[in-house]
Chain A
Amino acid sequence: MSGAIATYDLIVIGAGIVGASCADAASADGLRVAIVEPGPIGGGATAAAMGHLVAMDDDPAELALARYSLQQWEAFAELKEAEFSRCGTLWVARGEAELDAAALRVARLGAAGVEAHLLDAKTLYELEPALAPNMSGGMLVPREAVVYPPRVARYLVQRAQSCGAHLYAGRSVQTLIRGGAQLDDGTTLSGPVLVATGCALPALLPQLPMRARKGHLVITERYPNLLRHQLLELGYADSAHGDADSSVAFNVQPRPTGQILIGSSREFSATDAAVSPAMLQRMLERSFSFIPALRGLQALRAWTGFRPTTPDGRPYLGAVPGTTDQWVAAGHEGLGVTTALGSARLLLDLIQSRPPAIDPSPYAPSRMAA
């Protein structure tokens, strides 16, 4: 293949959940698509993720994108590969102040068309008897769900391939060139490019700042019926969207198998992928303080992953500033699975010069060039 040239309507670089969604949407639009992925499909942040489909409401732009995307996830509710489980999200309030804040969030989500209910303490314990005593109540978002992200990514790539997309598996893009991309085996791909390489974005687009935010997760043996909902503390956004160099939050998910996935941690300065016993302990202690029974369970495995994080927490979705036919979809931090489908649809509308369903300006990469 050395020296060969192949021409496409869109060259998608990276096959995580975001790149896979873009390739699928582009193929469905009738474009001739190339997908370049050096590793396994969905093998980066996608494989490390919890797969929680959740609307975060603290940023109106992020909420609009999540809402748009969650509607599209409904099409996957019956898909075996998605392992879609509509367990709902239960946000737990510790103290009256958090419960008051929850009431505001119920109103904000409701205004955006997301069903949410405020719960008193009695109802909270009926829904989740394993919670520690002295919780004040909570907020239930009953339609939210969890999926298994790497399998969805693989499904999307296969669906794109069945529409004619070509997968350059095990190949990487060495450089972006005028009107295309150069692969590591010397092949030249000609056509518009869409860079969806997450944390690896700076290798191809150094002008768009990106930091890797490390996270830990633990999965247990199967303990069916201990928990019923994806559980988070209402203080979660303070950890997720705060600027502290390291933080942990109670974020625990019952998998459809009965296994329990325990998160979450966030670290900016840790750059190695090794599991940190100290961070793991901090994260687990946080989860034990909400669900004491977790302490007695057997963990099977702990792992880490890196969230692609932009300076303002919003993804880059749109044209790369100062270039022609270069597009980017990256930097979704912890919401890449939730917002992948909506991001892809939004980007394809921009690429195809159609009016997008939601306002694309909050995600325009050009905001970094200003």
Chain B
Amino acid sequence: MSSTVRLSVNGQAVDVPVGASVAAAMAQVSLHFRRSVGGTSRAPLCGMGVCFECRVRIDGVAHVRACMTPVREGMQVQSHD
């Protein structure tokens, strides 16, 4: 059994260890997680589900906290713009 999973981040394939967070996988590709209402680029701050700065779109569902979501094989992750 493979100890890594492959997911897609903004259309790019990323391999990360089983049990990694989406935030960790996302960070392999870009530190732009989402755009604030004021138009600035945002990235994870607290890493523990409190600040909501790391929200991304996962498998079509908007505003999911990347830091709180473990990766799954085949997951489609997109930054929020």
Contact = CB atoms under 8 A, between A and B. Distances in A.
B62 A223 contact: yes
Interface string B31-72: 000000100000000000000000100000111000000000
Contacts of B37: 222, 257
Contacts of A296: 61
Interface residues of B, number: 5
The DSSP consensus for interface residues of chain B is strand
A142 to B, nearest CB: 26
A221 interface: yes
Nearest to A259: B37
Interface residues of A, number: 7
Nearest to B35: A222
Nearest to A221: B63
Nearest to B55: A221
Most buried by B among A221, A222, A223, A257: A222
Nearest to B80: A222
A257 B35 CA distance: 12
A221 B55 CA distance: 11
A221 to B, nearest CB: 5
A149 to B, nearest CB: 19
Contacts of B55: 221
A257 B36 CA distance: 10
A207 interface: no
Contacts of A222: 37, 63
A298 interface: yes
Interface string B7-47: 00000000000000000000000000000010000000000
A240 to B, nearest CB: 31
B50 to A, nearest CB: 14
B51 to A, nearest CB: 14
Contacts of B63: 221-222, 298
Contacts of B62: 221, 223, 297-298
11 contacts: A221-B55, A221-B62, A221-B63, A222-B37, A222-B63, A223-B62, A257-B37, A296-B61, A297-B62, A298-B62, A298-B63
Given A222-B37, A223-B62, A296-B61, 8 more contacts: A221-B55, A221-B62, A221-B63, A222-B63, A257-B37, A297-B62, A298-B62, A298-B63
